[in-house]
Amino acid sequence: MEMDRAEMEKRKQMVLDMCTCKSCPSFVECGEEGGFCFVTIGKSGCISEEKGCICGGCPVYEKMGLSKMYYCLRGSEKEQT
């Protein structure tokens, strides 16, 4: 069952509120909010190097049952599967 637009926006906001991307060694400040693990946000347009990954310690990672890493460069959980 797919989420409707309102539910998708609600989950996106939850991801952004809990996101720790800006604390990551790979993060590059360029105006992006983070939340790269979320399917409608996707990869970063600014990050180009893997300098360390903190995805596994992010509250979103646990809450959403994620298992991949480097969402900023490799894409969402769905894209990496």
Query: What is the pTM assigned to this prediction?
Result: 0.90
* Tokens (6 digits) for 64: 């959403």
Reported as a pLDDT band with limits 50, 70 and 90, residue 1 is: low
> What pLDDT sits at residue 63?
94
* Mean pLDDT, range 62-75, rounded to an integer: 96
Question: What average pLDDT does the chain have?
Answer: 94
pLDDT of residue 78: 87
Range of the domain at 25: 5-80
Q: Work out how many domains the chain is built from and give that number.
A: 1
Q: What is the pLDDT of residues 20-49, one digit of tens each?
A: 999 999 999 999 999 999 999 999 999 999
**Rounded CA separation 14/52 (Å):** 24
